[in-house]
Structure 1
Amino acid sequence: MKHIIFLTILFIVTKGYGQIEKQTTMDTIKTERFKKGWDKLKEIDGEAGEKVIESLKDISPELGTFIIEYAFGDIYIREGLDLKSKEIAVVSALTAMGNAQPQLKVHINGALNTGSTINELKEVILQMSVYSGFPSCINAMNSLKEVLNEREMQGIKDTIGDFSNTLIADRLKTGELELSKLDSTQVEKLKLAYNEFSPELVQFVLEYGYADIFSRDNLDNKYRQIATISALTALGTAESQLKFHINAGFNIGLTETEIKEIMLLMTIYSGFPSAINGMNVLKEVINNRNSDK
């Protein structure tokens, strides 16, 4: 009888130890992943990001953990797209979505911390007027102003950056030229599609979208396409336009890897469905380009 009791106790203790050992291993893995994410969060967003995580502790510490582990431990540590480009993509997406001002402020901080100048961020926000309208841009510009005031009060001196020196003599011709830089056939396609039904739309797309905005010379064309691709992916309502700008991105030098990273990044900010749709559009564009060769 004593032997039976001893063996039973030994079995329970051994089983319990195995569970503890397994749990300890899981906690170690979690801790390593958490640490990587936390280090990346501090590198990008500094104090602003830490405040967000701290604010979740009393309501949902799990959410804070998932943000650190997935967003920063899984996605941001990937090397296919540099940090400056990632933060430009996020600022443009959050501006376009227009419903996450506190998070936008965190990533404006992050963009400034990872190499964007003040004027580059102004350009990204101005460009979103083409894709998500003026109200979203007004809100984002106010968020930028608030962040800059807060950083100035902390003694942070951000780089102003270049101002646009573009002089436009003929807005329509300038718009046609800028659009043709992205795709030599697109002006004619635009006119063919809408000249009879709404010539005003063609005019305003070319004059405002491409002459007034895209011709401004103080934001690199690479960043302009990253901003547009991420915003259109996040919005999830403009597949044909997303297809065009992915093509345009390839035409001005973006790589397949860089665009894939934009889609993965959007899983954090607009969710997996929009990222899946964006990845499918990217796949279609690549297949079409390969078949045309």
Structure 2
Amino acid sequence: MKHIFISILLLGFSIEVFCQTEITNKMQSNRYERGWKKLKEIDGEAGEKVIESLKDISPELGIYIIEYAFGDIYAREGLDLKSKEIAVVASLIAMGNAKPQLKVHINGALNTGSSINELKEVILQMSVYSGFPSAINGMNALKEVLEERQKQGIKDEIGKSATISNQTDRLKLGEKELSKLDSSQVERLKNTYNEFSPELVKFILEYGYADIFSRDNLSEKYRQIATISALAALGTAEPQLKFHINAGLNIGLTETEIKEIMLLMTVYSGFPSAINGTNILKEVILERSINR
């Protein structure tokens, strides 16, 4: 019996040594080194704290975050780092259940070139796609991050303020803004909902497009990146995602850039949402090629 007990102890020790050796080997891999370098470039101290917090409970998770999220995905060159962080901030706000990670990526967005006002615009825009509670939570997270960075002596760029529109007819302004994305969408929207819920059409155009999309301190490109990533992460709005993928292509996003957004979503909302988003992108590309 004593020999059996000793054998079990030795087996347990051997497994532990093997696991520690595997972890050490992984930490010396090229993927790990590449990922750690990219993590430090984007998230700095905030990202390091997340990895450190996992060491006692699941060092493997920390390794996979570094190797896959940062070594495989963030290291890709099809989408610049500022765009990636805007996409991630939007997706995390839309999902609404990852405040610590949202704060890390707000830090990352500021570190990679986003101004304070650009991030405020991304958050305001999420009120359209995931509701006011998610936008309020996002704005509070931004406020906390800015206070923490100020204590560290970091001075972030405020950025351009939105120009106040002198257009008094919000409905007409909304139609104009939506038409920039797709010239026939206003007509489609009215044909679909005017008889059943004209109020919905009115509020989409007046709030979504006149109040939010008309603001000129976030580029059309970043607005579509934020919207596409949020809708992909939510996973419940395929027709709207299809429209905004098409709109993104209309205003200058490339097929490669949208593919990279979907790859990025494998990290933040999972492979199913990335697969669904990629399939929708595939549909849009096919339809555009047929309609040329």
1:75 is the counterpart of 2:67: no
| Equivalence for 2:242 | 243
Q: Secondary structure at the match of 1:143?
A: helix
In the TM superposition, what whole-angstrom CA distance separates every residue of 1:69-107 from its partner, at most 9, and x where no partner exists? Answer: 000000000000000000000000000000000000000
| Equivalence for 2:270 | 271
Point out where structure 2 has 5 or more consecutive residues left out of the alignment.
1-17
| Equivalence for 1:116 | 114
Quick one: which of 127, 136, 139 aligns to 1:138?
136
| Equivalence for 1:200 | 199
Change (3 A) 1:63 1:182: same
Point out where structure 1 has 5 or more consecutive residues left out of the alignment.
1-19
Contact 1:105 1:144 in 2 (8 A): yes
| Equivalence for 1:225 | 224
**Number of positions where the alignment pairs a residue of Structure 1 with one of Structure 2:** 271
Structure 1 CA distance for aligned equivalents of residues 160 and 87 of structure 2 = 20
Structure 1 CA distance for aligned equivalents of residues 227 and 27 of structure 2 = 37
Q: Would you identify which runs of 4 or more consecutive aligned residues in structure 1 move more than 4 Å? A: none
**What is the CA distance between 1:130 and its match in structure 2?**
0.3
Structure 1 CA distance for aligned equivalents of residues 149 and 37 of structure 2 = 21
| Equivalence for 1:57 | 55
Q: RMSD of aligned C-alpha atoms?
A: 1.5
**What is the CA distance between 1:29 and its match in structure 2?**
8.8
Quick one: which of 145, 152, 155 aligns to 1:154?
152
| Equivalence for 1:175 | 174
| Equivalence for 1:32 | 30
Structure 2 CA distance for aligned equivalents of residues 230 and 178 of structure 1 = 20
Q: Secondary structure at the match of 1:225?
A: helix
Structure 2 CA distance for aligned equivalents of residues 124 and 36 of structure 1 = 29
Amino acid at match of 2:62: G
| Equivalence for 2:256 | 257
**What is the CA distance between 1:30 and its match in structure 2?**
5.3
Amino acid at match of 1:268: V
Answer with 1 or 2: which has the greater Rg.
1
Q: Secondary structure at the match of 2:102?
A: helix
Structure 1 CA distance for aligned equivalents of residues 26 and 211 of structure 2 = 54
**What is the CA distance between 1:31 and its match in structure 2?**
1.9
Percent sequence identity is 78
Amino acid at match of 1:130: V
Q: Secondary structure at the match of 2:216?
A: coil
Question: Structure 1-normalised TM-score?
Answer: 0.91
| Equivalence for 1:48 | 46
1:165 is the counterpart of 2:163: yes
Question: Structure 2-normalised TM-score?
Answer: 0.91
Change (3 A) 1:126 1:169: same
Structure 2 CA distance for aligned equivalents of residues 108 and 139 of structure 1 = 13
Structure 2 CA distance for aligned equivalents of residues 170 and 223 of structure 1 = 26
Contact 1:166 1:215 in 2 (8 A): no
